[in-house]
Amino acid sequence: MKDVSKSAGQTIRDVALIVGGGPGISSSCARLFAHNGMRVAVAARDPDKSVLQKLEQTHGVRRYSCDASEPAAVDLLFQNVVRDLGAPTLVVHNIDGRVAGIFRKGIAEADPSMALDTLRNSAFSAFLVGQQAARLMRENERNANGAKGTIIFTNASAALKGFPLSGAFAMACHAKSGLAQSMARELMPEGIHVANVPIDAAIGWTQEDGTRAHRLAGTTVDDNMADPDYIAQTYLQLHRQHRSTWAFEIVLRPWVEKW
């Protein structure tokens, strides 16, 4: 009997790049990936925010500055990561892209330029990041699971259902799903695992010390909210799946969530 619990990735040193960096999924991924022996890079518009500095200090995570909606910036990011850490074997696109100014605005009231920014921040940056990842991973060797690499798109419930008062966000999340599907059908037969992971829930951060928090101060965080440490665990499992049984889409939601 083969030992399916053994990480096949251990034969090749993994290089993980997380695009989009904050205290939630990105931080949980960075910690878990580093803990599992990967070299880890995180890219953010502001790489100097304290939560990322902390990741560098505690887990040796490399920080990069990048506006992921700019083609040249994404190109440069991947060049720098290859130079510093080697070609990525795991890339996570973890940008939500919501623009605060049109949040909960009706279609008639939403500012068009903010709608376009939402598309650029989310779907277009996913295109740029996915493109660079695909270019590099094609040249990777296969690991013991038969994979040249894994590309994961974090997504939201708006990818599953277009809610009222959020037309721009529904566009962006649906677009990201469409891109992920197209890339999966194109790249899986080349040995690159592509996955779309809509999180159908509010996310409560898990901090370094294990306590939970939420961006809205005063919100009680419990297991009624998605715990990003477990989201990161699902990402790691996706990366380690054998190519005979790849999952393309996994929707994660807390036990009490209505759907």
Identify which of residues 49 and 174 has a Cβ nearer to a second copy in the complex.
174
DSSP label at residue 11: G
Residue at 207: amino acid letter: Q
* CB 108, min distance to a second copy, A: 5
Min. distance of Cβ 83 from a second copy in angstroms?
20
**Minimum distance from CB of 52 to a second copy (Å)?**
16
**Of residues 122, 117, 118, 93, the one with CA closest to residue 26:** 93
3-state secondary structure 69-125: CCHHHHHHHHHHHHHHHCCCCEEEECCCCCCHHHCCCCCCCCCHHHHHHHHHHHHHH
CB atoms within 10 A of CB 135: 12
Closest approach of a second copy to the CB of residue 198, in Å: 11
Q: Which one-letter DSSP state was computed for residue 203?
A: B
Choose between 100 and 108: whose C-beta lies nearer to a second copy: 108
Closer of 219 and 247 to a second copy (Cβ) = 247
Nearer to a second copy, 46 or 187 (CB): 187
Question: What's the Cα-to-Cα distance from 137 to each of 17, 89, 91, 209, rounded to whole Å?
Answer: 12, 7, 10, 34
| Residue found under tokens 């518009």 | 45
Rounded Cα distance between 67 and 97, Å, is: 12
For the CB of residue 255, give the shortest distance to a second copy in the complex, in Å.
4
- Give the closest residue to 62 by CA, choosing from 17, 2, 92: 17
CB closer to a second copy out of 60 and 106: 106
The minimum distance between CB 132 and a second copy, in angstroms, equals: 9
Three-state DSSP class for residue 58? helix
Which residue has tokens 């991947």?
78
Nearest distance, CB of residue 41 and a second copy, angstroms = 19
Q: Which is nearer to a second copy, 85 or 172 (CB)?
A: 172
